[in-house]
């Protein structure tokens, strides 16, 4: 059930402990990761691949460039890490995921680098990433609803410091968009679904510029909320 208190912003209702408890109760499989809609995974991955291709990243055989190092925030069981990023996009992927049972099978897989079992709000490249190591791509999907607006701004600011800007490094945020005319709080997993204007405000506060925005195609028939992909670079 979704709700939003009209007297306060939806994100102040987020409770990290409740959110973690919800995900600990979820099965470590694609069905669990996609909330009972496993059939959308293929369409989702293809939409992401097409989006990256428009940004010049993809299979070399198609005239695109692969990246050396990528980071996935909120990786879950690694559906995107293995199904997209390590499939012709990046040579190595580090992951951030607070639920350890989700990442157990990822550890030791070819191409998977560091695995941080912590929340996005806790991850800090200043202490976690070795000096000189930078990312060409940071992918963040279906997870930032567990961060308050302020936490999300701070997280994105930290991500900027980990980008290899000289090589054209960029961030992609892929998330549901609210259609209710406001940001909506969901009591089930203690998360917020944000409107498109809210995301754009947050990106601006983090001093990130939008270089590409696209609606994911193929979800309408499943009755799902609109999903947007935002490609971002430092101002």
Binding residues for S-adenosyl-L-methionine are 74, 79, 141
Q: Under 8 Å CB-to-CB from 115, ≥6 apart: which residues? A: 94, 95, 97, 103, 106, 107
Annotated binding residues, as ranges? 74, 79, 141
Nearest of 155, 45, 25, 13 to residue 99 by alpha carbon: 25
- Angle in degrees, 0-180, between the axes of helices 149-161 and 196-205, rounded to the nearest 10: 50
Q: In this structure, how many other beta carbons lie within 10 angstroms of the beta carbon of residue 71? A: 30
CA dist 214 → 40, 122, 123, 231 (Å): 17, 29, 27, 9
| Residue recorded with tokens 């293995």 | 82
Distance from C-alpha of 30 to C-alpha of 13, rounded to nearest angstrom: 28
């Amino acid at each position: 059930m979704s709700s939003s208190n009209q007297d306060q912003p939806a994100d102040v209702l987020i409770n990290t402990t409740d959110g973690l408890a919800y995900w600990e109760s979820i099965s470590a499989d694609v069905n669990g990761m996609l909330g009972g809609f496993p059939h959308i995974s293929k369409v989702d991955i293809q939409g992401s691949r097409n989006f990256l291709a428009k940004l010049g990243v993809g299979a070399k055989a198609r005239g695109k460039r692969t990246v050396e190092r990528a980071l996935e925030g909120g990786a879950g069981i690694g559906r995107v890490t293995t199904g997209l990023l390590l499939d012709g996009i990046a040579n190595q992927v580090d992951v951030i995921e607070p639920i350890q049972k989700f990442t157990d099978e990822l550890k030791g897989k070819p191409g998977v680098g560091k695995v941080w079992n912590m929340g996005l709000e806790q991850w800090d490249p200043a202490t976690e990433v070795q000096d000189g190591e930078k990312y060409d791509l940071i992918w963040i999907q279906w997870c930032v609803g567990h961060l308050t607006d302020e936490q999300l701004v701070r997280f994105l600011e930290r991500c900027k410091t980990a980008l290899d800007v000289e090589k054209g490094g960029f961030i992609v945020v892929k998330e549901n968009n609210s259609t209710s005319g406001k940001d909506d709080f969901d009591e089930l997993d203690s998360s917020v679904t944000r409107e498109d204007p809210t995301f754009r405000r947050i990106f601006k506060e983090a001093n990130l510029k939008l270089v590409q925005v696209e609606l994911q195609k193929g979800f309408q028939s499943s009755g799902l909320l609109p999903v947007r992909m935002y490609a971002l670079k430092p101002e």
